[in-house]
Amino acid sequence: MDFGFSLSPSSAVNLDKVDLSLYDRLAAIDPGIRTCIGCGSCSATCTASAYSGMSVRKVLLAMQRGRMQEVEKMLSNCMLCGKCTMVCPRGINTRRLILNACRLYANVEGEA
């Protein structure tokens, strides 16, 4: 059916089709990551964000919205300094999250 217009595939997130396998695998390792409230403390304090737009909040969100390229781009700048872990009000172990995401990114079905 053609309504004479279409949604741009890049701007809409179709939750029916999002591949959550990476997020789910990371949450299986540490369920704490599901408790993120998106407060942005991690992004604001991030040492690498000034040069790259790295943000743990956005990494978690992008993973849940299927925007995997953004995940890769952001994680490629992380310096692992641990400030985000220090400030997170939910106590999420963000360093562990980042390392596991870097490890499991390409091969989502790979080794534990």
Partner 1 sequence: MAEYIAVVGGGIAGMETAVRLKALGLEPVLIERSESLGGHVASWHRLFPDMSHADKLIKDLEKGLEDVDVQLGAEISSLNPLRKGYSLVLTNGKVYPCRAIVLATGFSLFPAERKEEYGYGIYDHVITNRDLEGWFNGKADSRVPESPRAIGFVHCVGSRDIKAGNSQCSKVCCITAIKQAIEMKEKFPEAEVYCFYMDLRLFGKKYEDFYIKAQRDYNIHFIRGRVSEVAETIDGQVQVKAEDTLSGKPVRVRLDLLVLMAGIVCNADNQTFTQAVQMPLDDDGFFRSRDNVGAITESDRPGVFFAGACTGAKTIPETLAEARSAALNVYLYVKGLK
Partner 2 sequence: MIDRFANSGFHPFVLPFLVGMIFVLTYCFFGMVRIIWELPGKDRRRFFLSLVTPRTAWKNVKDIFLNCLIHVKLWKRNPVLGYMHSSIAFGWFMIILLGHIEVMLFLPERIRFFYYPIFFNFFVAEGESTIQGSVLMFLMDFFLLIILSGIAMAIVKRFASLWFGMRRTTRLSFLDSVGLYSLWAIFPLRLLSESFTAHISGGSFLTVPMNRMFVWFFGNDMNYLPTWWAYSIALGIFMIVLPFTRYMHIPAEMLLIPLRNAGIRIIHPRKGFARVQVRSCPGCGVCIDACPMSVKKENLKDCTVYLNRQIRRGNEKRIAEISDKCLLCGKCTEVCQVGVPGPEMRLAQRSLRKYSINPHYSNIQVDPFIDAIPTGTRVLYFAGCMTHLTPGIKKSVLSLLDKAGASYSVMDPDGGLCCGRPMMMAGRDEQAREMIRLNTEIIRASGCNVLLLSCPICYRIFKEKYKLGNIRIVHHSVYFNELIHAGRLKVNREEALKLVYHDPCELGRGCGIYDEPREAVSAAGTLVEARQNHAESICCGGSLGSITLSYEKREGITRNSVDNLMAGSPDAIVTACPLCLSTFNKYADVPVKDLATVLDEKC
Positions that interact with partner 2 (CB under 8 A) = 30, 32, 45, 47-48, 50-52, 72, 75-83, 85-87, 91, 93, 95-96, 99, 101-107
Q: Which of 25, 42, 43 is nearest to 34 (CA)?
A: 25
Which of partner 1, partner 2, none binds 94 (CB below 5-8 Å, type-dependent)? Answer: none
**Quick one: CA dihedral 78, 110, 32, 16, positive or negative?**
positive
The helix/strand/coil state of 39 is coil
Output 36 or 104, the one with its CB closest to partner 1.
36
For residue 80, the minimal CB distance to partner 2 (Å) is: 5
Which of partner 2, partner 1, none binds 40 (CB below 5-8 Å, type-dependent)? Answer: partner 1
For residue 16, the minimal CB distance to partner 2 (Å) is: 27
Output 18 or 45, the one with its CB closest to partner 2.
45
Output 10 or 107, the one with its CB closest to partner 2.
107
The helix/strand/coil state of 44 is helix
**Which residues, other chains included, contact 69 with Cβ-Cβ below 8 Å and sequence gap of 6+?**
none
Neighbours of 63 (CB within 10 A): 25
